[in-house]
A = this chain, B = another copy of it.
Amino acid sequence: MTTVPDKERLPAQVGFAVEIDKLKRVLRRNTLMDGSRRENDAEHSWYLGMLAMVLGEHAPSGTDLDRVTAMLLVHDIVEIDAGDTFIYDLAAVEVQEKAERAAADRIFGLLPEDQTAAMRALWDEFEERSTPEARFAKALDRLAPILANHHNEGGSWTRHGVTADQVMEKVEIIREGSATLGEYATEIVELSVARGHLARSRS
């Protein structure tokens, strides 16, 4: 028996591909590192995929880095319907969760059934942070804006009045994914405070 690629699955797959192009138009709160404009979810997801490749050695040994990458590429797709939520806006975060689950149903549901299930499982795993892969992926997702703000004189921290205490809660999530990256993020945050780019506490 020869394997026949299932051409009949292509219309659904391409329908999904056309739909997710919209992720390039979902804007995040932070800017590019040079501060020139706000970042969008698609380029952010690429960036995280690259961080997984470059910083993967700092994940706990045995972490499946290919699954980390896959999770990171998929993790924001639900924001096509649900929009981006600023992680320091706690009330919005709760409402957001429901909207994101509905978005996952609709968007992943465009794919053939087996792929719908696979994408949904990846996204659920990321959200639940129940595996080393998900915890490392989430760590990179939290590290990226810290890197960007650190290299952009405070960036969205300054604009939105975020304090070091609040950032350190996110650093805790980084530490849960990678001890080394957690330590590194702590140093960056301290440096940003010392340089006057991040307020220690609400004034």
Contacts and interface: CB of A to CB of B under 8 A. Distances in A.
Contacts of A93: none
Interface of A: 3, 5-7, 9-10, 13-14, 16-18, 20-25, 32-34, 36, 39-40, 42-43, 45-47, 49-51, 53-55, 57-58, 61, 66, 69-70, 73-74, 111, 115, 147-148, 151, 178-180, 183-184
Contacts of A66: 66, 69
A23 B115 CA distance: 30
A42 B7 CA distance: 29
A13 B43 contact: no
B13 A50 contact: no
Contacts of A46: 23, 42-43, 45-46, 49, 73
Main SS class of interface, A: helix
Contacts of A45: 46
Contacts of A5: 57-58, 178-180
Per assembly, the copies of the chain total 2
A138 to B, nearest CB: 17
B7 A180 contact: yes
Nearest to A49: B73
A61 B179 CA distance: 39
7 contacts: A6-B57, A10-B180, A17-B147, A42-B43, A45-B46, A46-B49, A54-B111
Nearest to A32: B24
Given A42-B46, A43-B46, A46-B42, A61 B7 contact: no
B151 A18 contact: yes
Contacts of A151: 18
Given A5-B180, A46-B46, A54 B115 contact: yes
A188 B24 CA distance: 23
A20 B47 CA distance: 8
A183 B5 CA distance: 12
A43 B151 CA distance: 21
